[in-house]
Copies of this chain bind each other. A is one copy, B any other.
């Protein structure tokens, strides 16, 4: 009974009773939510013969235009060889523009072309729609909590690389 109450945890302070079961619920929730979250773009990507890796590359190049390959590598946390395959395709297909660096000519600065932007938009559109709906349903307070917990979940030394975090603290 008191277990059930703690498991529900509507917004009281009994959250300090964090049973392993409650935490496992959270784990499961993450799994299913992430799946729902990637389901729509995955379908679209198939039509293009692309995978999730392509989506990630498009996303981050869109958000950080002029990004170098190394920086992207660092963000994605994959190997150079793995990213390169994906990047080469995207450049060949005219979705990404790879320009020789101005100050350091060894570097390549990455930009989305117009068609790259178009694909990124249509890929993220389904995700944005889903997220907008979730945000609307859940309400502003829930969204704030959602963001707060998720930020805490990010690897600490990864946090500086997350754009959305800047100026989002509420302290």
Chain A contact residues, CB within 8 Å of chain B? 4, 7-15, 18, 20, 23-37, 39, 56, 59, 63, 77, 124, 127-128, 130-155, 158, 162-164, 167-168, 170
Partner of A143, one of B9, B34, B170: B9
Known: A24-B63, A24-B124. 15 other contacts (CB 8 A): A13-B140, A25-B163, A27-B59, A27-B131, A29-B154, A30-B37, A31-B59, A34-B34, A35-B155, A130-B153, A133-B152, A134-B150, A139-B148, A145-B145, A145-B146
> Dominant SS at the A interface?
helix
With A127-B27, A154-B36, A162-B28 given, is the CB distance from A138 to B149 under 8 Å? yes
How many monomers of this protein are in the complex? Answer: 2
With A11-B140, A35-B155, A162-B28 given, is the CB distance from A23 to B128 under 8 Å? yes
- B59 and A128 within 8 A (CB): no
Partner of A141, one of B11, B36, B37, B153: B11
Q: In whole angstroms, what is the CA distance A2 to B102 when docked?
A: 35
- B20 and A128 within 8 A (CB): yes
With A15-B140, A127-B27, A167-B8 given, is the CB distance from A154 to B33 under 8 Å? yes
